[in-house]
Amino acid sequence: MTTQIKRIGVLTGGGDCPGLNAVIRAVTKTAIWKHGIEVVGIEDGFQGLIEDRVRPLAARDVSGILTRGGTILGSNNRCNPRRYCVRVDPVTGPVWENVTDRCVDTARRHGLDAIIVIGGDGTMASAAPLVEAGVNIIGVPKTIDNDIVGTEITFGFLTAVNTATDALDKLHSTADSHHRVMVCEVMGRNAGWIGLTAGVASGSDIILLPEIPFDLEHVCENIDFRMKKGPGFAIIVASEGARPREGQQVVDRIDPTSPDPIRLGGIGRWVADEIAKRTGVETRSSALGHIQRGGGPIPADRILATHFGYHAIKTLMEGKKGRMVVRQGNVFGDVDLLHAAGKQRLVPVNHPLIEAARAIGTGFGDGKTPEPAAHAEPMGSVVV
């Protein structure tokens, strides 16, 4: 199918992640060099569309940014055109307005035939009113959380896993030296992909996921075994969205001006304090926080981001509208963007990696991993 695309915009929305610049580069170069399309960059996500902050992007503007962290366009995770905080009233709080028309006007004023929106589920939800208003949007799935519906992977995730695994490896040696329990809190919102993947990659002993509410009794039994009959230290990964069976997620902050106001954080510290109290074992906690979002992308993410950027333009040039590029079964394709908007892809509790982890004795705090004490020789014993 031929299509009349002459000029497009590109924006990055939501929390930043490694690989955003690699996508911007791939989108811009493919558009300009392969199709002769003009590209403009929209600054700070949808904020730039609302405030008409748009600048031309030439191929030279995206040269050398493949390896750079962050986004040259800026981003914003508090900006949904349908529900936009125009000001905060000192008495009544945030005042919301639907500013979709302002975004549509900016797109028209700049003659944009389409906008490539690089973002997570919140950004896709923010794009929805524009799609409904007739603006052609092609989404590219981004987030360290890897929780976007419709794609098996998002760029940024593998770099975050790499960062978390590196941190866990470092915690391993200090836990060993001091015979301590180390709890490391990782990001991911309501999804445990980072916790599960970095936990297995680092050989952590217990992994606490939002998808598997944990029981502190089981966690402490496991610690007790490792301290008395095992190596004398333990590493626990706690996803920020993890919660005890009878409890709630720990909220770090509420941002009233954001359409998605809850910011999780603090479960790692809580788990560490409880373990110390219940077992008497010296326990420390570290929260990796935004370190997981920073820095340049690892090679796998540079490649994924380049594929996604190229496929976004390919999808557009096939005449498609309102699509999000995805990878499924290692094959690139596209799905209805509205299908991904505002949803989260959680870790299935029977995920093969969870099964493999349980088989090698990794606990998930739910008592379902076979107790090592039940069938193993104490570590350090000599089996003749």
Q: How far is the CB of 250 from ligand F6P (least distance, A)?
A: 12
DSSP label at 366?
S
Q: Give whichever of 9 and 122 is closer to ligand F6P, judged by the CB atom.
A: 122
Instruction: Name the region of 157 (left: φ>0; alpha: ψ -120 to 50; beta: rest).
Output: alpha
Q: Could you say whether residue 145 binds ligand F6P (CB under 6 A)?
A: yes
Give yes or no: 166 in active site.
no
Q: Which stretch binds ligand F6P (CB under 6 A): 182-190, 210-218, 228-236, 360-368?
A: 182-190
Q: Could you say whether residue 263 binds ligand F6P (CB under 6 A)?
A: yes
Tokens coding 168? 């866990």
Which of these is catalytic: 16, 121, 145, 147? 145
Q: Could you say whether residue 260 binds ligand F6P (CB under 6 A)?
A: no
Q: Which stretch binds ligand F6P (CB under 6 A): 33-41, 108-116, 183-191, 311-319?
A: 183-191
Phi, psi of 182 (to 5 degrees): -115, 125
Which residues 285-324 are close enough to bind ligand F6P by CB under 6 A?
293
Q: Could you say whether residue 346 binds ligand F6P (CB under 6 A)?
A: no
Q: Are 204 and 168 in contact (CB under 8 A)?
A: yes
Q: Which residue has the tokens 């349908």?
A: 82
Distance CA 115, CA 274 (A): 49
Which residues 61-120 are close enough to bind ligand F6P by CB under 6 A?
77, 120
- Please report the beta strands in the chain, taking only residues with DSSP state E, as ranges in sequence order: 7-12, 38-42, 54-57, 84-89, 93-97, 114-119, 137-141, 181-186, 206-208, 234-239, 251-254, 262-264, 283-287, 323-328, 331-336
Distance CA 169, CA 123 (A): 33
Q: Could you say whether residue 187 binds ligand F6P (CB under 6 A)?
A: yes
Q: Which stretch binds ligand F6P (CB under 6 A): 138-146, 176-184, 231-239, 334-342?
A: 138-146
User: Which residues are the active-site residues?
Assistant: 145
Binding residues for ligand F6P (CB under 6 A): 15, 77, 120, 143-145, 187-189, 240, 263-264, 293
